[in-house]
Amino acid sequence: AQSVTQLDSHVSVSEGTPVLLRCNYSSSYSPSLFWYVQHPNKGLQLLLKYTSAATLVKGINGFEAEFKKSETSFHLTKPSAHMSDAAEYFCVVSDPHTDKLIFGTGTRLQVFP
């Protein structure tokens, strides 16, 4: 069975400092992994996805994530946080048999000026 664990429910950073949101996955198969962002009262937006090509995946708004099979991790990073990055972030794995997405519990990112 597929699952993801987001290790931090809340992360707070100052504007201009690096962001690290941690995610570990469990999968019986080569996983498809995603990061989605959810701003208040807005729909979920895809940041990036890993589909067994390059292990370092670049997404929108300067975010990137690295797939590490040995550590079963898919952490999300950004070199310099912006105020507009404040939102809820979800690490997601796709079930290869049913195509449904399995979401983590989310990490709320706060960015202070």
Residues near another protein, by CB under 8 A: 32, 34, 36, 41-46, 49, 51, 90, 94-96, 98-106
Helices H, strands E: what count in the chain?
0, 12
Here the tokens at position 26 are 């469990």
**What is the smallest separation between the CB atom of 61 and another protein, expressed in angstroms?**
16
**What is the smallest separation between the CB atom of 47 and another protein, expressed in angstroms?**
11
- Kindly tell me which of 15 and 59 has the beta carbon lying closer to another protein: 59
Exposure string over 65-95, b if 16+ CB within 10 A, otherwise e:
bebeeeeebbbbebeebeeebbbebbbbbbe
**What is the smallest separation between the CB atom of 17 and another protein, expressed in angstroms?**
26
